[in-house]
Amino acid sequence: MTRQKYCGQSHEIFSQWIRDECPDSKTGYQVSDLDFILWNDRKKTLMLLEVKINNAAMKEWQAKLFRRLDALFYRVAPDAGIKYLGLHYVTFTGADCDFKNGECYFDNERVSEDQLRELLSI
């Protein structure tokens, strides 16, 4: 069983701190969080995952940043003995990540909960 998440409100507090204390986006400074890093230590496999709800589209600057990050991982992972499986997007059409409240898409292809479980079980 996977360990339970412990985060509380600290993530939102830190996000607001970054907005208040770091350079403004007018300077070219952009901040994004990446939702999940999936790592299998035995297989040395790695997958990055961005999740959206409400069928939200990614902002263009974020998509560009993630494409660069993805390309970087593809280039350097083999030298580190890592099988990089890519940066993928999971989109839920509902207001949360509950399969009962809407459809789910993996890289723009509709998937069931079982299919997503299989795709993410690296």
The residue with tokens 């991982």 is 73
106 pLDDT above the threshold of 60: yes
pLDDT score for 41: 97
Mean pLDDT for all residues in the chain: 92
Give me the percent of the chain exceeding a pLDDT of 70.
92
pTM of the model: 0.85
Delimit the domains of the chain by residue range: 32-120
pLDDT tens profile 7-53? 556 678 888 899 999 999 899 999 888 999 999 999 999 999 999 99
Rounded Cα distance, 64 and 43, in Å: 29
User: How many CB atoms neighbour CB 28 within 10 A?
Assistant: 7
Rounded Cα distance, 115 and 100, in Å: 15
